[in-house]
């Protein structure tokens, strides 16, 4: 395994934050425990030791100004990006020195800083690794059949075999040693790989499942999966924002 410890590296954490949302317009600025949602995510990232810089990538002046007000660096991106991955790729152009990128979801105010560092370190330790993500074990049958919960199955070495919204794997026979994994929507990329990734058109499996990571697998890329006990989720609705606020207030 080749390492990059002797080569210059620069790990850039990017938090995509767009205004438009079908279920929750203006979500990044929704106040939770006295702060905008995106500020909570940024503050978690500030606790990381492996990020050389942190930026918010947005398509809206209101989010841009709010980020500047609480001290975050933010960059404007196009409002026509089909995916958050395209948004972070544009934002990364402002940092030519960046060698590795961490895509941290802007709606996960409880994200674990240690997990972000682990993803960064996985790429820094292996120059052949193009991409990494995370997953946590679960045993809830209802979640297994929930299409909003993305599942992942792994190779013996911890790389991803496949991601799906369907139950994965389908359990026709009992397998006592089988562990089910729920995918967490955080990604680490080598910058050169991300530039290649966005040049590929959406792949058939990606379109069918509406999962971008399948584009990488269909092109033969390795995706290392970090197993974590961080089961925190994102904020998709105002009701979930209230639940997250209660958790945050209980820790103050």
User: pLDDT, tens digit, for every residue of 4-56?
Assistant: 445 789 999 999 998 877 778 889 999 999 999 999 999 999 999 999 999 99
> How do strand 180-190 and strand 151-154 relate by DSSP bridges?
antiparallel
Query: What integer pLDDT is reported at residue 56 of this predicted model?
Result: 96
Query: What integer pLDDT is reported at residue 6 of this predicted model?
Result: 59
169 preceded by cis ω (within 30°)?
Answer: yes
Q: Look up the pTM and report it.
A: 0.91
- pLDDT under 70 in the chain at which residues? 1-6, 252
Query: What integer pLDDT is reported at residue 76 of this predicted model?
Result: 94
Query: What integer pLDDT is reported at residue 1 of this predicted model?
Result: 36
Max Cα-Cα span within the chain: 56
E-assigned strand segments in the chain: 11-17, 31-32, 35-36, 53-58, 73-76, 100-103, 131-138, 151-154, 160-164, 180-190, 223-227
Residue with the two structure tokens 């929704």:
30
Domains and CATH numbers, the chain: 11-251 (3.90.550.10)
Query: What integer pLDDT is reported at residue 231 of this predicted model?
Result: 84
Residues with Cβ within 8 Å of residue 126, at least 6 apart in sequence:
1, 2, 3, 224
Residue with the two structure tokens 């958790």:
247
Query: What integer pLDDT is reported at residue 155 of this predicted model?
Result: 96
């Amino acid at each position: 395994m080749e390492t990059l410890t002797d080569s210059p590296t620069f790990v850039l954490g990017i938090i995509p934050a767009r205004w438009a949302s079908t279920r929750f317009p203006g979500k990044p600025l929704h106040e939770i425990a006295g702060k905008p949602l995106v500020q909570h995510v940024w503050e978690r990232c500030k606790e990381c030791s492996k990020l050389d810089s942190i930026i918010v990538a947005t398509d809206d002046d209101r989010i841009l100004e709010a980020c500047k007000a609480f001290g975050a660096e933010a960059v404007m991106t196009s409002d026509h990006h089909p995916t958050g991955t395209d948004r972070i790729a544009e934002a990364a152009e402002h940092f030519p020195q960046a060698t590795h990128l961490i895509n941290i979801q802007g709606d996960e105010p409880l994200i674990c800083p240690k997990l972000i560092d682990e993803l960064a370190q996985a790429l820094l330790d292996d120059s052949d690794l193009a991409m990494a993500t995370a997953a946590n074990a679960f045993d809830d049958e209802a979640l297994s059949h929930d299409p909003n919960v993305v599942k992942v199955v792994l190779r013996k070495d911890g790389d991803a075999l496949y991601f799906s919204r369907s139950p994965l794997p389908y359990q026709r026979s009992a397998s006592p040693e089988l562990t089910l994994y729920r995918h967490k929507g955080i990604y680490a990329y080598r910058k050169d790989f991300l530039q290649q990734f966005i040049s590929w058109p959406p792949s058939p499996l990606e379109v069918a499942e509406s999962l971008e990571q399948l584009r990488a697998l269909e092109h033969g890329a390795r995706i290392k999966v970090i197993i974590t006990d961080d089961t925190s989720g994102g904020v998709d609705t105002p009701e979930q924002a209230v639940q997250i606020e209660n958790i945050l207030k209980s820790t103050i």
